[in-house]
Structure 1
């Protein structure tokens, strides 16, 4: 009887120990799963933030490319059909006189004299400089100058009009305010081109 009792007691103790070991393994598994879940969540959040920044930069670059195309087309249209051209205001203003002797102006304006506030750095087109009742039309924004280059340069009727400007971030400065608007890295398009007038022989 005593031996049987000891055997049964030992068997019950073994089963209790086995249950304890099973509970300890389950707790370990829960901890491992929790740690993995935290790591996966952190990785997903980091990827989401990176993708958001990348999307912002890509969207800004596409936007600036579209603005650049519009500005070049508008300027080239006026220059090609001008019979007389004149550059004023240290290369920031271009006068184009057509065959009907109507003079239009294309000019750069920085409303607050601060190159880093891109949204108000603009190119305007004034259809008729002699008519104060006609409002100027914005043909480009986020404009900045190219270092050591005037926006417009023109020698005489035998030469083309040189056009130099940048649409987008004026420089690569990660701490600048405009980087928060356009995304990390320098976003923009630099324009350095020349357009020849077709009607200069009429003058």
Structure 2
């Protein structure tokens, strides 16, 4: 009985639902660091578009490390209302790596070198390759903990656990400090702008990402 009472008394994480209207069109450049030293760049672009009759956010995240030794470009098309995905594709070093399609009932994964796979979606999921912007669209509040279910083409189904650890000034902007865990026990701290909602940077024991750097080689129209 005591155990049941303790369980009942423990606050449960809120099921988070992103609000896509929090995001704004635009682009940003980030410097990638390892143990504080620059190792590459990330360029991110958010653009409003329409997929059929559905308003969407068309998002590109292009990361390059070590003068091009590693180059990853992810492209997402998400419903503008709640950021649920319609499709994503990823290229590595300029070559198609994977394509994922979501229709609300099934998730279809296509790779150039493997047979197509398909699985039933257990419910609403978000794309597990897009972290910062998805977190920025959440109704973040001091001390809150959230769950967000996702699908990631290598890991499969899972969920983010997010804890709002506090607030800080980041580049002169008010920001939430959000500790994010994708289920592997490794926490990454995200710096999420409060107004406007935006990804300002990340911190982890070894790697970091902060606004700045030169993304001229990655930028697209």
TM-score (norm 2): 0.28
Q: Which has the larger radius of gyration?
A: 1
Q: Which has the higher helix share?
A: 1
Q: Which has the higher strand share?
A: 2
